[in-house]
Amino acid sequence: MTLEVIAPAKINTFLRVGPPDASGYHPLRSYFAAISLADTVRITPGARMEITCNWPGLPAENTLTKVLRLLRELSEVPPCQIELIKAIPAESGLGGGSSDAAALLRGLHRLFPDLWPKEFLTSVAQAVGADVPFFLIGGLARAEGYGEKLTPLPDAPRQWLVVVRPDAGVPTAKAYRELDAQERPWREFPDDPWTLYNDFERVMPCACGEAIERLQVHGATASGLTGSGSAVFGLAPDEQAAHRIAQSMQAEGWPFVRPAHTLTREESLWMSLS
């Protein structure tokens, strides 16, 4: 018996970052949207606990091991083989590690529903990372606080887009340090979640800015940075345009280019038992 769980990437269509408070954390105002670019987490109950991954760069201490450690504070985790299939690039602002953690939480709760109450899973998600709670609800959502105060929004029509990640990743801590060195306004949410804006564009690497410009040259109706980078995305009028823009960006030699689309809440929480 194996449970397969989708771990979708996310984009921030709007992201304002406030100055750090007394705790050292940054409040934010953001819109999150789950997209079809996704990792996969497969969970197979077995004789011993084991985590494998198709990406050799996965560190020994990662979001999956952190989830398991926190769950064990309430109850022993039954032995499982956990297979992580990576498709979301690291250090990209697409939330891959956070989504993997949420997928593992959702999957273990599906397999062993009596071991942990849902409220405890939510607290574990918050402890693992600021983006993890979003991936427990998926779809489109408004985020406040440190990212944990979430307001689910109704599913919107499917939006096609193209995701591009330049060569260099952007360490999150470095991006925050550079952003904190600048004064910036602390503004309210726009009414439209698709009003693209990201405070981290103030400090993004030149390659990110170039990718944003090239996406629009090739037909994106708007483009911007997601999270703290280094991935950027461009909105496309339809599926055909998304594939055409992606082909043009690939022809220019960008190392990671993927057409994708937004997911409904149900699609972003998909899992299948076989």
The set of catalytic residues is 10, 131
Strands, sheet with 232-236, edge to edge from the N-terminal-most edge strand: 222-225, 232-236, 160-165, 256-261
For the chain, the straight-line distance linking the first and the last C-alpha, in angstroms and rounded, comes to: 6
The C-alpha atoms of residue 129 and residue 114 are separated, in whole angstroms, by: 24
| Token pair for 54 | 């198709």
Tell me the backbone φ, ψ of residue 18, rounded to 5 degrees: -80, 170
The C-alpha atoms of residue 248 and residue 219 are separated, in whole angstroms, by: 10
Please tell me whether residue 73 adopts helix, strand or coil conformation: coil
- CB under 8 Å to 152, separation ≥6 — which residues? 137, 139, 140, 141, 265
Cβ neighbourhood burial of 248 (10 Å; 0-12, 13-18, 19+): middle
The C-alpha atoms of residue 239 and residue 15 are separated, in whole angstroms, by: 26
DSSP output for 195-230: --EEGGGGT--HHHHHHHHHHHHTT-SEEEE-TTSS
Please tell me whether residue 21 adopts helix, strand or coil conformation: coil
